[in-house]
Amino acid sequence: MLNPAIPQDEEARIAALRILNILDTEPEERFDRLTRMAKRLFSVPIATVTLVDTNRQWFKSQVGLTASETPRNISICAHTILGEGIFTVPDTLQDERFIDNPLVTGDPNIRFYAGCSLKIGEQSLGTLCVIDREPREFGREERELLMDLAEMAERELVAVQLASTDHLTQLSNRRGFETLTHHALSVCRRMQRPATVLLFDLNHFKGINDTFGHAEGDRALKAFAQGLLVVFRNSDVIGRLGGDEFAVLMTGSNAKSSASAISRLREWLVADRLAHGRLYGIEFSVGEIEFDAVKLDSIETLLDLADAAMYQDKRESRKGADTSS
């Protein structure tokens, strides 16, 4: 079996997938309709809308399968995202890349596969694929039809992105952040895992706009967003709530790990300033609240408390500045 290669732009691809905030969400009719159409039009037992995550392929929609995800290293869809357009395997038992793949030798017994890469911008995030338990050929008209269905799936992914994404930074907006955080906290509650909410507010941001202009202010916001993506983990939820206010949910974390991340963010911002020759520094205040499944059971409550803690941090930093001056 040949494990799928990792795309050269994997870091950017995973970042784009995280920003979409669609992994582990509930089924949606708009995607289920497409897999039902694909199953019927191609007369196959299995059709999926698959998203390729760091270590797994996760099915946003599937017909003919019971699993919600499988490991990435045995995923045929992970091969599909490496190229453009359609990827086909007429007979897996005649293809050395897949002949001993567990998905071929065992359930769901894949013999034929055809998938089309699903892209947002330049990033291939997953596939629309059809699967048969018998070998078959895939002609030109069938390829065109699969591409048409894939374009419909891409439009739905873009709609998801627009509804939950901040257009400037490409992070989750408030709606996207709260929706994804709600699901993440449910998992933490069920698994009895800790979590921490961090609320960031940029210091002296108005001064950046007033001194250097709003275009430079936008660049500062995008730089801070990039810093959050670099410093925090793929499993953390990151969002721009509005203006110069950002939030992060760190799952499975404690005060020590969040303090380390905050310190690394400050270091990254200094290094980024030097690298780009900016005439100003990007500084922030931060409020931190630990998740409590009994007392603090909603993201709204956590954000309110983190907001109060952030303003306390801002007041203390101002006092420190006044004292030093």
- Look at the chain and report how many structural domains it folds into: 2
Do 264 and 319 lie in one domain? The reply is yes
Q: Which residues of 235-263 are buried (b: 16+ CB within 10 A; e: fewer)?
A: ebbbbbbeebbbbbbbbebeeeebeebbe
| Residue 133, SS3 per DSSP | coil
CATH number of domain containing 232 = 3.30.70.270
- At 3, list the tokens: 């494990």
Residue 4 lies in a domain: no
258: nearest Cα among 194, 196, 177, 189: 196
User: Using an 8 Å Cβ cutoff, are 182 and 24 in contact?
Assistant: no
Do 73 and 109 lie in one domain? The reply is yes
Range of the domain at 241: 174-324
Domain termination site, one of 164, 185, 217: 164
Residue 5 lies in a domain: no
Write out pLDDT tens, residues 184-198: 787 778 778 888 999
Residue 1 lies in a domain: no
Domain termination site, one of 164, 189, 208: 164
Query: How confident is the chain (325 residues) per 10-residue block, as mean pLDDT?
Result: 91 84 90 95 97 96 95 97 94 97 97 97 95 97 95 92 85 85 78 89 95 96 95 87 95 84 96 95 95 77 93 83 54
Residues in the chain, overall count: 325
Do 110 and 198 lie in one domain? The reply is no
Rounded Cα distance between 179 and 144, Å, is 36
Do 178 and 308 lie in one domain? The reply is yes
Rounded Cα distance between 291 and 232, Å, is 18
CATH number of domain containing 30 = 3.30.450.40
